[in-house]
Amino acid sequence: MIKKPKKYSVFSLVRNALSYHENWQPAWRNPEIKKNYDAIIVGGGGHGLTTAYYLAKNHGVRNIAVVEKGWIGGGNTGRNTTIIRSNYLWDQSAALYEHALKLWEGMSQELNYNVMFSQRGVMNVAHNLHDVRELKRRWNANRLNDIDCDWLNTEQVKKFCPVINTSQNIRYPVLGATLQRRAGTARHDAVAWGYARGADAMGVDIIQNCEVTAINVNNGNVTGIETTKGTINSKKIGVVSAGHSSVIAKMAGIKLPLESRPLQALVSEPVKPVIDTVVMSNTIHAYVSQSDKGELVIGAGTDGYNSYTQRGGFNIVEDTIMAIVELFPIFSRMKMLRHWGGIVDICPDASPIISKTHINGLYFNCGWGTGGFKATPGSGWVFAHTIANDQPHKLNAPFSINRFSSGELVDEHGAAAVAH
């Protein structure tokens, strides 16, 4: 019997404060692994945990194992730059990311867990005539899709974000920007922890430090997985393993159109509030926001070659810092405190794959590349639907793996906030 976790509230905070915070119960169990499950999710990142959560909540499948190689919140969920937005160009992507954004808006209440979702706005800055045209096109596409988006001219950009350098004498001057006001940031690992706690409360077994070593297939039907903690059987397996998706796919004899590359990010020393929005620039490749702790959170680019090492080339960091310093001269003397990389799986069309495969019961949710965090709840929502019904939700039908044969690609390279 699953013991329901105690609800977090101001009263529980006071109660626990009185006992010196020594009696908080763990947010999720450390369960014994069962022999059989109705579904196994490979990968305990944000997308995997939301998949398990919505399988349990929306589809009544509660006998689920989430198998995670490391620990919850230790992979890309804890490595991204936490930006959430839905201002995508194409209808298919806009619908998917907007669905996710709507889930973000109610997430803290739904999970009874503060994910610190902050709708501080995301600005995408234009630096040349082409940028202006491209971003205005995106602005119009967003409006047609009922997604909030405004166009700001240079003065309005300066007013919205006073620390930005709007001098017209720099190499890439600010000519304007799109602004999605409902976009923003969230505390990334809280998202993983909140969904882990929510899924666990509905009976989902979260198994950490358990690496998948093989996928068992019999006559075209999936039957289970081999792991470093033994065999686990299930007729439905959803793989949500981000950078390692190709490695898992190979175990089932599937080849994916993915390339795994390091993507780097870095944070500065903490300072007082200086930038209260998210600024992104595709042309000069920079994006920056400020965390609640006061650190500047800066995203760099991907390396130009495949690698599974969680570190990237120093030149990539240097390029990003050069861009940041030109756009924000005020940051030029700040010290960078930490710097890391995560392995992202990039599709040729920069759109995800949320799909069935030719093996019955084996599903893949991968290819989110450099921008999966924002989609975390929406991705789990549609992937849970796909697993439960053995057919895609209408939102992820365009993101089938078959699009690489049919040619019906969803080319979001131009609409990604920064090119990778």
Partner 1 sequence: MLLINCPYCGEREQEEFSCGGEAHIVRPKNPPELSDDQWADYLFLRQNIKGLQYERWNHSFGCRQWFNVARNTATDEILAIYPIGTKPPKIDSNDPITPCGEPQIGSGNFSTSKK
| Residues within the interface to partner 1 (CB under 8 A) | 69-71, 74-75, 209, 211-213, 228, 241, 244, 246-248, 250-251, 255-260, 304-311, 313-315, 341, 345, 348, 404-407
157 or 191, CB closer to partner 1?
191
Residue 70 Cβ vs partner 1, minimum distance, rounded to whole Å: 3
119 or 310, CB closer to partner 1?
310
Residue 351 Cβ vs partner 1, minimum distance, rounded to whole Å: 12
Residue 226 Cβ vs partner 1, minimum distance, rounded to whole Å: 10
5 or 70, CB closer to partner 1?
70
Between the two ends of the chain, the Cα-to-Cα distance in Å is: 47
Tally the C-alpha atoms within 13 A of residue 291's C-alpha that lie toward its C-beta.
17
Residue 232 Cβ vs partner 1, minimum distance, rounded to whole Å: 16
Whether 217 contacts 179, CB under 8 Å: no
Distance separating alpha carbons of residues 94 and 351, to the nearest angstrom: 11
Whether 46 contacts 54, CB under 8 Å: no
Torsion on CA atoms 29, 30, 36, 40, rounded to nearest 10? 80
Distance separating alpha carbons of residues 203 and 225, to the nearest angstrom: 20
101 or 350, CB closer to partner 1?
350
219 or 406, CB closer to partner 1?
406
215 or 388, CB closer to partner 1?
215
User: What tokens were used for 248?
Assistant: 């898992």
306 or 360, CB closer to partner 1?
306
Residue 364 Cβ vs partner 1, minimum distance, rounded to whole Å: 13
45 or 377, CB closer to partner 1?
45
Whether 93 contacts 351, CB under 8 Å: yes
Residue 310 Cβ vs partner 1, minimum distance, rounded to whole Å: 4
Whether 245 contacts 259, CB under 8 Å: no
- Encode 339-368: b = buried (16+ Cβ within 10 Å), e = exposed: eebbbbbbbebbbbbbbbbebebbbbbbbb
**Sequence-ordered list of residues with C-beta below 8 angstroms from that of 291, at least 6 positions apart, any chain:** 82, 185, 267, 270, 297
Distance separating alpha carbons of residues 236 and 225, to the nearest angstrom: 10
Residue 305 Cβ vs partner 1, minimum distance, rounded to whole Å: 4
User: What tokens were used for 359?
Assistant: 């093996």
Question: Helix H segments across 115-254?
Answer: 129-144, 154-160, 188-201, 245-251
35 or 311, CB closer to partner 1?
311
Residue 379 Cβ vs partner 1, minimum distance, rounded to whole Å: 20
Residue 131 Cβ vs partner 1, minimum distance, rounded to whole Å: 24
Residue 341 Cβ vs partner 1, minimum distance, rounded to whole Å: 7
**Sequence-ordered list of residues with C-beta below 8 angstroms from that of 89, at least 6 positions apart, any chain:** 137, 138, 141, 412, 414, 415
69 or 127, CB closer to partner 1?
69
Nearest residue to 325 via CA among 357, 292, 286, 356: 286
